[in-house]
């Protein structure tokens, strides 16, 4: 504090990630590649960890300060090996996920297992493996990607929604367990985002427009609009934030959205 009672922090540096190593799991995906670019822009050294090594290398080919690492999170012992090979890691971002849109009564057991394995079990293992090493060093930030489906559902989203709600509970528990060792754990919850995975929805004009109309902003999100939230949670700007879920959903979960009455 100075004589006026103000902090001596240089607030312009709050978002600076210079000297930090970040690992983006699923970093070759539509959202992941934007997060990689954003973290690099703020000074981080970024590892693009993805099961598609060629796609990860494509992401890193134009980004100085980024490198590719082949990681299939469902392969036995792949996560502990990655945690050891990439150590030390200051920031871990989890974006890898899958969805099978079916009514619960039509789900096959193997489909349910596939969604749970990637969305929930691998997240548990990643948080455990990387979080343990962060705790040993006394610092770190983990950012998981949940979804609006963690709190609100629609037909055909049962397994996906359950994994995202479960992931948020893992985030809260990890925040409680790792917080005393200086590790923060939070989540970003996107709404509907323009990525290759949502092309099926946007290809249906009625479906795509209905999703646009549901949010307060009346449109879909671009992948780059999620970068700010991740940089914030990765940086010292959020030094007292843990166990939280930051919605980047255009107001989807804030409003009713079914009908705008005359006023």
Please write the tens of the pLDDT for every residue from 24-55.
999 999 999 999 999 999 999 999 999 999 99
- 160 given a catalytic annotation: yes
Query: Band of the pLDDT at 197, cuts 50, 70, 90?
Result: confident
Query: Band of the pLDDT at 9, cuts 50, 70, 90?
Result: confident
Q: Active site residue: 11, 69, 107, 160, which one?
A: 160
CATH class held by domain 16-248: alpha beta
At residue 95, the pLDDT reads: 97
pLDDT in tens, 139-157: 999 999 999 999 999 999 9
**Cα gap 171→87, rounded to integer Å:** 21
Q: Would the pLDDT of 114 be above 80?
A: yes
Query: Band of the pLDDT at 7, cuts 50, 70, 90?
Result: confident
At residue 258, the pLDDT reads: 77
At residue 200, the pLDDT reads: 86
Every domain of the chain and the residues it spans: 16-248
């Amino acid at each position: 504090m100075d004589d006026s009672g103000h902090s001596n922090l240089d607030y312009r540096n709050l978002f600076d990630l210079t000297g930090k190593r970040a690992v983006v799991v699923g970093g070759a995906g539509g959202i992941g590649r934007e997060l990689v670019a954003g973290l690099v822009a703020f000074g981080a050294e970024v590892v693009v960890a993805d099961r598609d090594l060629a796609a990860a290398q494509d992401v890193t080919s134009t980004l100085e300060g980024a490198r590719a690492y082949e990681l299939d999170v469902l392969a036995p012992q792949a996560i502990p090996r990655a945690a050891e090979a990439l150590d030390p890691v200051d920031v871990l971002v989890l974006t890898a996920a899958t969805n099978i849109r079916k009514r619960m009564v039509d789900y096959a057991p193997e489909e349910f297992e596939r969604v749970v394995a990637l969305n929930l079990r691998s997240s548990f293992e990643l948080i455990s493996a990387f979080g343990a090493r962060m705790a040993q060093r006394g610092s770190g930030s983990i950012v998981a990607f949940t979804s609006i489906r963690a709190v609100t559902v629609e037909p055909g989203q049962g397994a996906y929604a359950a994994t995202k709600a479960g992931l948020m509970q893992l985030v809260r528990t990890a925040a409680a367990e790792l917080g005393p060792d200086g590790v923060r754990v939070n989540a970003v919850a996107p709404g509907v985002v323009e990525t290759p995975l949502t092309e099926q929805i946007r290809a249906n004009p009625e479906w795509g427009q209905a999703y646009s109309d549901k949010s307060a902003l009346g449109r879909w999100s671009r992948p780059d609009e999620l970068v700010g939230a991740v940089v914030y949670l990765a940086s010292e700007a959020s030094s007292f934030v843990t166990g939280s879920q930051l919605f980047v959903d255009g107001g989807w979960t804030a409003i009713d959205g079914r009908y705008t009455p005359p006023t």
